[in-house]
Amino acid sequence: MNRKRALHLRIAFNVCCLLFLLVAAPLRAQERLALVIGNSAYSAVSPLDNPSNDARLIAETLEGLDFNVTLLLDSDQAAMKRGISRFGRDLRNAGADATGLFYYAGHGVQSFGTNYLLPVDVALADAADLDLVAVEAQSVLRQMFSARNKTNIMILDACRNNPFTDIPQFNDNGLAEMQAPTGTFLAYATAPGGVALDGQDGNSPFTQALASQITTPGMRIEQMFKKVRIDVIDRTAGQQTPWDSSSLTSDFVFAEEEPLTPAELQELQLWNSVQASGDPVQIMLFLRGYPDGTYAGDARALLSVLMERELSQPEAANPAPVAQGPSAEEQKMFEMAQSEASTESYQAYLDAYPEGVFAEFANGELVALREKAGHDPEGEGVTATPEVAAAAVPATPPAPAAAGPISFETALVSDLPEISGRSIAELIKMSPLFPPVEGLPEEYWKQQTCSNCHQWTQERLCDQAGAYLSASMERSLDKKHPFGGAFKRHLRTWAEAGCN
């Protein structure tokens, strides 16, 4: 029993150890280390106002981004070298997935293409002694490289001015561009050989911009420093242009994006849909729902662009209004025209309702009466002889074009190959086969569609098809039509079936 209990305890202990390793591993993988140095109080060369302030600002900002920060202020050469050595050791112990960041603000110079960071106790009489009294910037990169970690970042807010103006060998301005090992991002406050401004309001322009942009959630380091560059150029009126170079092999962001709440996700999804539509109405409705939302500014900007584009286009002709069916007055006038069946009665109807529901039929009847012909046109450029015209007038109403009920989507049967096999729904989207009104110039009907001219919908077309059910309309079933008389007969059969 004791042996069994001991076995259970051992298993439980092993499970706890495994769980600890699983939990601790991600924490270790995300470790971030930073060494921040700011030197202002120089004793033998010109002191600087802001580097210590800049270092404090960056240290506080990095701590808010989960960096383990070591801050050194006004350090002499020994303190700087000890700090850099400890930084390298900590980085090596942190593992391959750790991130290392080195930030320096203070005097910096280059000599024979090598960059040096100056401690506050630097004193120099001869340029040849520089490496004995300063700290070579490359030594920081060597410490980073020795850690073999994935991501390293070096930020130098130096080269404010040349502190050794009395030494003739120092003729180079600013810092030289360095070659960084793989996995390193190098950022300079100004372009190689340029001079960075110290600033007049407590911080340098570069560090102000850096602290402002570095906390942007989800922004990759390359994009972030691009925004820093734009900001500094603006702050300095073009006197200073930050520089960077990269050999990173993976994406890095300083501030991770926080997961969206359900409400934020819903707003984002709706905005993506509205933005893709490019519809001003949808955008206005979105702004009505989210007047102070995350994307309200983008929505207003897009709406402004769309409205400006709309106003800049030539004014189009007013579209024909969509009819809702004939009024009682129109219906009565049309039936009177049908009963009288004269050119005067049809013309009177058309004068009163030029865009009426029955305007197409009235035009057809009017043309037929004027030409004293009652057959479908035989096609473009073909004129029927009187004998053919007389033979084309049926003694009795024509038979339905298709047996059985016809729906809006039924394939029709016709002697015309352009009609046969197509449904009413398809035909009204096609171009007419014959002119709607005899003699109408081709540019008014060729390559047009009936639905464009008449604003046809299934409901409106049903109103017109229903007119063929009246006795007075039966004799017009074989009259001219843009798709021939057979199409009218199909419409009548469709109306008989309830326009389904």
pLDDT in tens, 238-289: 999 999 999 999 999 999 888 878 888 888 888 888 888 888 878 877 887 8
Q: How far apart are CA 109 and CA 192, in angstroms?
A: 11
Give the pLDDT score at 185.
96
Per DSSP (E only), the strands in 137-249 are 151-157, 184-188, 243-246
With b for 16 or more beta-carbon neighbours within 10 A and e for fewer, the 144-153 pattern comes to: bbebebbbbb
pLDDT in tens, 473-493: 555 555 555 666 667 777 777
Q: Map residue 178 onto helix, strand or coil.
A: coil
Q: How far apart are CA 195 and CA 42, in angstroms?
A: 19
Residue 368 neighbours by CB under 8 Å, 6+ apart:
374, 479, 480
Average pLDDT, the chain: 78
pLDDT bin (cut points 50, 70, 90) of residue 150 is: very high
Name the more confident of 129 and 8. Answer: 129
Among 46-60, 298-312, 405-419, top mean pLDDT goes to 46-60
pLDDT in tens, 305-333: 887 777 676 655 555 444 456 777 787 77
Give the pLDDT score at 270.
87
Fill in the amino acid letter for 239: Q
pTM, two decimals, is 0.52
Cβ atoms of 489 and 376 closer than 8 Å: no
Taking residues 342-370, what's their average pLDDT? 79
Lowest pLDDT segment from 77-86, 290-299, 402-411: 402-411
Name the more confident of 83 and 432. Answer: 83
Which helix (H) or strand (E) segment holds residue 387: the answer is helix 386-392
Question: CA 382, 384, 388, 391: dihedral to nearest 10 degrees?
Answer: 110
pLDDT in tens, 242-251: 999 999 999 9
Q: Find tokens 């301005």 and name the residue.
A: 173
Q: Residue 233: left (phi > 0), alpha (psi -120 to 50), or beta?
A: alpha
DSSP string, 239-284: S---EEEE---S--BSBPPPPPPHHHHHHHHHHHHHHHHT-HHHHH
